[in-house]
Amino acid sequence: MLYLWMPEYVAISQDGSSVANTFRWRITKPHGVEGWQTALGWDALLAATAPENEQEVTVFFPTSSVQMLRQPMSRPQLRQLGTNGLRYLLEEYTLTPIDQLDVRHQHRGNDLTVLAKPQQDVAALLASFGLTPWRVVAALPDFLLLPMVEGSATLLLDGINRILRLDESYAVSADNLDITLARLNDIKQIQVIGQLNDADRATLDAQKAASGLDWQLLDIPVSSVFAIDGVTHKHPYNLTVNKQESGFSPYWKVVAAVLVGAIAVQMLYDAVRIWRYHGVEQATKAQAEQQYRQWFPDEQRIIDLKKQMKGHLNGLGAVDMTALSILSRVGPALSQANLPAQKIHFASNAGIGQLELQINAPSLPALENLRSQIATQGLTAELGAVNSATKKSDSDASGQVSGTIRVKI
């Protein structure tokens, strides 16, 4: 893997006729060159790295080129805010329109850290590698290169590249060290790497006297800085990973849950309705079989009610279709009134078929109501003789009256 530390500044040639970027690069091979190597310009960089024959590169761009923000936020608040809402946290801190920012974030504990870089700058950075032999697998801020000690910040002083790393995911630019330390007066320890000039030393000593800041200059050259353990292409700050930002509201999960709930309720309603209709179907079938057994007591075995009923009606000769038509229209009325016929007789006189039904009912009005319901089927229904019904046994639940209803088309 080739690692490339992009410069924050350009080097000017001795005669002042041209400028060139000064790159740092290194290879992670067991027997590779140790430390960061320098190359002045793209041509020198390509020539120096060509013998290594590397195909992939991890790029570290200057931390000063990004806007970072940290504020307390719980995870439920972050989910409610959503990816698009993170942009508005930066609205007062950047001159770039928030819809033109490439925004990444990390959440640790109850702290949210947001990193933003203009999309145009990201595109230009990645496009600059279009003519190189490398594939960019990660583009990360260079403060991730600085070593960290628990409870201590790390200050890099490398020419005009001045970075103060506060923890694993947050750093600030320390162009003016005095103002930076005054603003971050809660820092208790700092380890310094790089070239410490007299002004920086005076600032650190003044902060030590004022707030008890404990600082020390590490005996580590900038060329040895390489604390990237655990930093991979899956890092949240990797700008080469496309973040698909949803245009939906942050409440889309709630809407989806409501939709799923509505579908579940509809499915439950359909299931209950099917179960209910099945129950009605079974009750109607049982009532039809009971009526059939009452009409034809000698035939108790029922295999196919429709075919067996049609077979009995076929024995009536030419009037069978008339009888079948009347029965098909009288049946629903009998089922609705829950008054099964005790006896049934069909006769034909002068080509006119007449069906006589003997009905046991609780009262005369019940018989009259049944006759009216049959008449609503487009049939002529007349109430015949009505007598008191007799019970066959004490357990017999027959009605109090027995009457005849004559039905014809």
pLDDT in tens, 262-308: 898 999 988 888 988 888 878 777 777 777 777 677 676 777 777 77
| DSSP string of 257-311, one letter each residue | HHHHHHHHHHHHHHHHHHHHHHHHHHHHHHHHHHHHHHH-TT----S-HHHHHHH
Question: Higher-confidence residue: 282 or 214?
Answer: 214
Read off the pLDDT of residues 57-112 as tens digits, 9 standing for 90 and up.
999 999 999 999 999 999 999 988 887 888 889 988 888 999 999 999 999 888 99
What is the reported pLDDT for 67?
Answer: 94
Spatial contact of 96 and 118, defined as CB atoms under 8 Å apart: yes
What is the reported pLDDT for 330?
Answer: 82
Amino acid at 164: L
State the fold for domain 303-408: Alpha-Beta Plaits (3.30.70)
What percentage of residues in the chain have a pLDDT greater than 90? 37
Kindly indicate the confidence band of residue 251, based on its pLDDT and cuts at 50, 70 and 90: low
- Dihedral angle, C-alpha 262, 263, 268, 270, nearest 10 °: 110
Sign of CA dihedral 197, 199, 204, 206: positive
pLDDT over 80 at 312, yes or no: no
What is the reported pLDDT for 392?
Answer: 52
pLDDT over 80 at 185, yes or no: yes
Kindly indicate the confidence band of residue 318, based on its pLDDT and cuts at 50, 70 and 90: very low
Spatial contact of 113 and 121, defined as CB atoms under 8 Å apart: no
Spatial contact of 354 and 346, defined as CB atoms under 8 Å apart: yes
Q: What is the arithmetic mean of pLDDT over 8-33? A: 67
Read off the pLDDT of residues 326-376 as tens digits, 9 standing for 90 and up.
777 887 788 788 887 888 887 776 667 788 888 888 888 888 888 888 888
What is the reported pLDDT for 300?
Answer: 64
Q: What is the arithmetic mean of pLDDT over 34-53? A: 90
State if pTM tops 0.75: no
The interaxial angle of helices 252-295 and 320-337, nearest 10 deg, is 120
Q: How far apart are CA 98 and CA 117, in angstroms?
A: 10
Q: Residue 163's closest CA among 95, 242, 85, 222?
A: 222
Compute the mean pLDDT over every residue in the chain, rounded to the nearest whole number. Answer: 83
> Where exactly are the structural domains of the chain?
251-298, 303-408
pLDDT over 90 at 205, yes or no: yes
Structure tokens at 301: 């075995």
pLDDT over 50 at 121, yes or no: yes
Question: Higher-confidence residue: 102 or 321?
Answer: 102
Residue for token pair 């936020």: 73
Q: If DSSP codes are grouped into helix, strand and coil, which group holds residue 316?
A: coil
Ramachandran class of 107: left when φ > 0, alpha when ψ lies in -120 to 50, beta otherwise = beta
What is the reported pLDDT for 178?
Answer: 92
Q: Taking CA 208 as the corner, what is the angle to CA 204 and CA 213, rounded to the nearest 5 degrees?
A: 95
Spatial contact of 174 and 162, defined as CB atoms under 8 Å apart: yes
Spatial contact of 346 and 355, defined as CB atoms under 8 Å apart: yes
Kindly indicate the confidence band of residue 245, based on its pLDDT and cuts at 50, 70 and 90: very low
What is the reported pLDDT for 189?
Answer: 95
What is the reported pLDDT for 340?
Answer: 78
Sequence-separated contacts (24+) of 295-299 with Cβ below 8 Å: 295/341, 295/343, 295/344
